[in-house]
Amino acid sequence: MCANMLIENTVIVTMNPLRDVLTNAGVAISGERIIAVGQTDELRAQYPQAERIDGRGKVVLPGLINSHTHISMSLQKGVTLAVADGLYRIMWPVERSLTADDCYYGALIGGAEALKNGTTCVIDHYFHMEQIARATTELGLRGVLGHTIMSRLGPITGEREFEEGIAFVQRWKSHHPLVIPWLAPHATDTVSKQWLLKLREIATDEDVGLHLHLAQSPLELEYIEEQNGMGCVQYLSDLGFLGKDVLAAHCTYIDDDEMDLLAESGAHPVYCPMGHALGGHPMRAWELLQRGARVLIGTDCVCSNNVMDIVGELRIAGASQKQLTEDREAMPATKILEMVTVDAADAIGMSDQLGTIAPGYLADLIILKFEGLHTVPNYSLLDNIVYCCTGRDVDAVIVNGQTVVRNGALTTVDETRLIELATEKGHGLMRRALENDIDLAWLWRSRHGAET
C-alpha cells in the first residue's frame, strides 16, 4: 500500500495499550487511515513517494475528542460568565431568538476555533443540528452530533423537536464519514419521564448513544427531588436509562451514592474543567474516577468557558482536581490524556478507530510545536504537554487523513471572514434577543453598560 503522507523526525505519543512514546519516529498515512508507525529512516525507505511533513521539534498526538460542547454558541461568547443562574436568566432567553442560520454560522466559527486548538472530534448537543452537521462537514471536523430535545422550560421545546431529534439520527446514520448521530435529550428536569423512556428505547434499537446534561444545577436537582423524592442520577438509574452508551455532562450536584451508581452503570460523566471552575462548583472528577466511573473531558460552551481550547483544558483539569482533593498526585497527566483520546473513543464506540496512533486507525492526529520557551527543557513529556501547552501550540491538525490546519492556519475556511461573521452574526442575535425580551435587556445592560 502506498502512503500519501509521512510525518517524520518527530516524537509520537501513541496512546497504544503500552502507552509507548516513540522518538525519531514517523507516521505514514494512506487516504483516511494510518498504515504504519515506526522509525523515520525505515518509513522513508518504505514510502519514498509520500509527501513529507517535517516533525522536528514537534510532538504528534492522537486527535483530541471534546466530549461535551455546543459549538454553535460561539455567537454568545461569555454572556453567562459569573452570572448566577445564567443558563436560565440569559442563555435560554437569548436562544429563543436563535435561527437556523445562527446555528450554522455559529458552528462554523466555534468548530473552526475547536480545530485550531487541537480538537478533531466534538460531541455536540444543540438546536438546529442539521445546520451544525452542515458546518462540521464543511470544516472537516468529526462530530458526534445530537439535536437537543426538550419538553418543558427551555427556549425551544415540544413534539416537533422530539421528532426532529429522532429524524436527525435516521437521516445521518452511515450518511457521512465525519458525522455520528446520537440522541440528545437536554436534562432530567427539561425532558419528561415518558420521553426519556422512549429515547432510551430508540437509542437501543438504533444502536446510537445518548448525550444529556445531568445534575448540572441546583434548580435541576430541586425539581427532580420535588417530583420524585431522589437525586437526578438515582432518577435516571431507576428509569433504566443509564448505560455505557450514555454521556452525562457535568454531574456536579450528586451525592456519594450517586457517584457509585454512575460507576456501576458504565455511563460516562463529562468533566468541563474551566466551566465548572468559573461556575464555582467543580465536578468531583478524580473521586469519580477512583470509584470506577468512566469520566471524560469537555469544554462545554463558550458562554461559560470563553474558549474552545481542549489542549488548554487539560491543564485546568489537573490543577483543579489537585486543589479540590488536596492531593498533588490526583489526575496524573497520563490519565488526563487518556480521557481525551482512548477513553473518549471507547465512549463513542470507536475504540478500534480513534484515540490511538497505530496502523489501521483513522488518521485523526494533531501536531504540537514543542520548541518554545514555555516547553523547554523537557524532562517529562506528558507533564509538559498537559501543563505547558495550550491550543496556540497546535501546528497541524489532520482529520480522516485530511490536513485541516497547517502551520497553525485553517485550510478549509477563511479565518478572517469567520472573525467578521462572528461579530456580525453575534451582534445580530443579541439585538433580536434584546428586542424580544425586556428582562434580558435589563440584565444585559446591567452587566455591559451599553447596547451591542
Could you read off the pLDDT of 302-319 as tens digits, one per residue?
Answer: 998 999 999 999 999 999
Q: What would the mean pLDDT of 35-44 be, rounded to a whole number?
A: 97
Q: Please give the share of the chain, as a percent, with pLDDT higher than 70.
A: 97
Q: Is the peptide bond before 377 cis (omega within 30 degrees of 0)?
A: yes
Classify residue 122 as left (phi > 0), alpha (psi -120 to 50) or beta.
beta
Domains 5-62+354-410 and 64-347 share a fold: no
Q: What is the pLDDT of residue 85?
A: 84
pLDDT of 321 reads 98
Question: Taking CA 144 as the corner, what is the angle to CA 191 and CA 190, rounded to the nearest 5 degrees?
Answer: 10
DSSP annotation of 57 reads: T
3-state secondary structure 263-306: HHHCCEEEECHHHHHHHCCCCCHHHHHHCCCCCEECCCCCCCCC
Q: How many CA atoms lie within 13 A of 323 on its CB side?
A: 12
| 154, pLDDT greater than 70 | yes
Size of the chain in residues: 452
What is residue 89's predicted lDDT score, i.e. its pLDDT? Answer: 87
CA angle 405, 304, 74 (to 5 degrees): 45
Q: Which residues of 294-332 are buried (b: 16+ CB within 10 A; e: fewer)?
A: bbbbbbbbbbbbebbbbbbbbbbbbbbbbebbeeeebbe
Distance, in Å, from the CA atom of 189 to the CA atom of 185, rounded to the nearest integer, reads 10
* Tens digits of residue pLDDT in 3-30: 999 999 999 999 999 999 999 999 999 9
SS3 370: coil
For β-strands 365-369 and 394-399, DSSP reports them as antiparallel
In DSSP terms, 125 is beta-bridged to 146
pLDDT value for 80: 86
Given this model, what pLDDT does residue 442 score?
A: 61
Q: Is the dihedral of CA 95, 284, 354, 40 positive or negative?
A: positive
Mean pLDDT of 60-67: 98
The pLDDT of residue 452 is 43
Tell me the mean pLDDT in the region 298-303.
96
C-alpha cell at 177: 464519514
Q: Please state which of the four CATH numbers 2.40.50.100, 1.10.3720.10, 3.40.120.10, 2.30.40.10 is assigned to the domain occupying 5-62+354-410.
A: 2.30.40.10
Convert the pLDDT of each residue in 260-284 to its tens digit: 999 999 999 999 999 999 999 999 9
**Cell numbers for 129:** 443540528
Per-residue pLDDT tens digits for 213-270 = 999 999 999 999 999 999 999 999 999 999 999 999 999 999 999 999 999 999 999 9
Instruction: Indicate if the pLDDT at residue 290 is higher than 80.
Output: yes
CATH topology of domain 64-347: TIM Barrel (3.20.20)
Region 341-356: what's the mean pLDDT?
A: 98
User: Residue 450 — pLDDT band, cuts 50, 70, 90?
Assistant: very low
When pLDDT is cut at 50, 70 and 90, the band that residue 83 belongs to is confident
Q: Which of 421, 400, 217 is nearest to 300 (CA)?
A: 217
Task: State the pLDDT confidence band at 343, using cuts at 50, 70 and 90.
Answer: very high
Rounded to 5°, angle at Cα 175 from 172 and 176? 105
Average pLDDT, the chain: 95
Q: Per the confidence metrics, is the pTM higher than 0.95?
A: yes
Question: Looking at residues 178-183, what average pLDDT do you find?
Answer: 98
CB-CB contact of 87 with 117 (8 Å): no
pLDDT recorded at residue 397? 98
Burial class (CB in 10 A: 0-12, 13-18, 19+), 241: buried
Record the cell numbers describing residue 212, joined without a space.
444529556
**How do residues 407-430 score in pLDDT, each as one tens digit?**
999 999 999 999 999 999 999 999
The alpha-helical segments, DSSP class H, found in 10-158 are 40-46, 86, 92-95, 100-116, 129-139
